[in-house]
Amino acid sequence: MRISFCCSDTKPQPWVDGLKAAFPDAEVSLWSAGAEPADYAVVWMPPQQFFDEQLKLKGIFNIGAGVDALMKLRLPAGVPVVRLDDAGMSVQMAEFVCHAVIRHFREFDGYEADVAEGKWSYRKPRLRTDYPIGVMGLGVLGERVSRALAQFDFPVNGWSRSPKAIEGVQCFSGDVGGQGFQDFLAASRILVCLLPLTSETRGIMNMDTLSRLRTGGYVINVARGSHLVDGDLITLIDNGHLAGATLDVFHVEPLPADHPFWKHPKITVTPHTSARTLREESIAQIAGKVRAVERGERVAGIVDPLRGY
């Protein structure tokens, strides 16, 4: 068996070494133009040339949960694309989102500012019932995040395309713009985005949708930058409808130095780090799935090209 690794923004050697250890009987190599045809590809944002040349693939394994970058390419017809299915990401996402929510809810920024001025001051405790949280996307990551938030007794709403039942979470479903979506937004004050980026979800956080959140809303985007219309977020923060945002993902990454998000006092920026791909867990998951595919079994995390996720 031949496995080709092709990744545009990660140091490749530890991956190649890890894959070699996981597949002692296979030939594992770092892809370069003109390389021999491989059976399986392990990729992150590969160039189109990779797929134009690799014509014998039996499976494409993405070393991330989101496949939006892959879906923009011309992929070989009929070859399954398999994304990471948790692989250690959901717990990271839960801690990141809970941190962002609690930091906002408990006003830790305000306390830090007071302490910096040597002030011993109290703020009136807020009511959790005034801070219902809406999680868009109830997949592998969104479900874990919703459950984690519910453990802190926040009212939690969730929205997905198909109906779900999650203990402690009020679940809404349906299409973007449909009644379930409108009801979900109207019931939420803090909005967390954990959707895949598809033609339906691009720009989903915009003037219209964010205006439907309760006044004093807060946005946490940990999915993809293109889910958000940046200028609309800034307008709604500056006019007081929204209290602020924590943003981990951006239209262009790294976030350009002159982007207004960097210096906005009510926006917290993190460098696409809310849930990192963990190499060992990911390689173990991919190795298990390649073996399952070789045995002719169906594996979890196969992307539906029509849905785009």
Would you tell me which residues interact with ligand OXD (CB under 6 A)? 64-66, 277
Min dist. Cβ of residue 34 to ligand NDP (A): 32
DSSP state of 227: G
Strands 133-136 and 156-160: parallel
CB of 81 closer than 8 Å to CB of 67? yes
Cα-trace Rg, the chain: 21
16 binds ligand NDP (CB under 6 A): no
Given candidates 134, 139, 217, 244, which one binds ligand NDP under the rule CB under 6 A?
139
Residue 169's SS3 state is: strand
Min dist. Cβ of residue 42 to ligand NDP (A): 17
Min dist. Cβ of residue 66 to ligand OXD (A): 3
CB of 32 closer than 8 Å to CB of 47? no
Question: Helix axis angle, 279-294 relative to 12-22, nearest 10°?
Answer: 40
Residues 61-90 interacting with ligand NDP (rule: CB under 6 A): 65-66, 89
Strand (E) or helix (H) holding 51 = helix 48-53
Residue 272 designated active-site = yes
Min dist. Cβ of residue 134 to ligand NDP (A): 12
220 binds ligand NDP (CB under 6 A): no
Distance CA 242, CA 238 (A): 8
Q: Which residue is nearest to ligand NDP (CB)?
A: 139
- At position 30, the amino acid (one-letter code) is L
C-beta of 232 vs 248, nearer to ligand NDP: 248
CB of 189 closer than 8 Å to CB of 218? yes
Q: Which of 212, 214, 241, 272 is catalytic?
A: 272
Joined together, the tokens standing for residue 248 give: 């981990």
Given candidates 18, 137, 155, 244, which one binds ligand NDP under the rule CB under 6 A?
137
Residues 230-259 interacting with ligand NDP (rule: CB under 6 A): 248-249
Footprint on this chain of ligand NDP (rule: CB under 6 A)? 65-66, 89, 137-142, 160-162, 176, 194-198, 200-201, 222-224, 248-249, 272, 274-275, 309
